[in-house]
Amino acid sequence: MGATATTTVPTNAELMEALAAVGAAYFQDFAAAAARHGLSSSQAKALGAVQEPVPMRALAGRLGCDASNVTGIVDRLEALGLARREASAGDRRVKIVVISEQGREILALVRGEMSRTHQSFETLSDEQRSALHSICHQVLPVLSGRQ
């Protein structure tokens, strides 16, 4: 009689630990690449969050921080020429953050230099990449509260 492989379904706790470990490793790779371009991870994350123009308050929500913290982040991005503030057409009191072309270029460089992340994704087959992408899009709305 041949041995049969049994698959153990991970518990929620095991999935949370695995996701946390992947997230931490990704963040370390991202932060190191951002630092090579003189950016903090928060500044680089903000560039990724403003691919389309975003109000300051909405940017704070995307970054998971207080609106007062976003002011400092955007101040630094403006000083570097990576983003700018514009008044909203509908309400001049609302400031919109817009990424500059230079900001797009720097963000692309940061993402391109995340060598450990790229190496990890290259170990996946096309089917695994598609499955991971699908799973991320399935759980993200629930995790982010945007159901």
Encode pLDDT of 54-106 as tens digits.
999 999 999 988 888 999 999 999 999 999 999 988 888 899 999 999 999 99
Residue at 144: amino acid letter: S
pLDDT at residue number 59 = 95
Comparing CA positions, the residue from 88, 94, 40 lying closest to residue 67 is 94
Q: What is the DSSP string of 19-69?
A: HHHHHHHHHHHHHHHHHTTT--HHHHHHHHHTSS-EEHHHHHHHHTS-HHH
Eight-class DSSP state of 132 = H
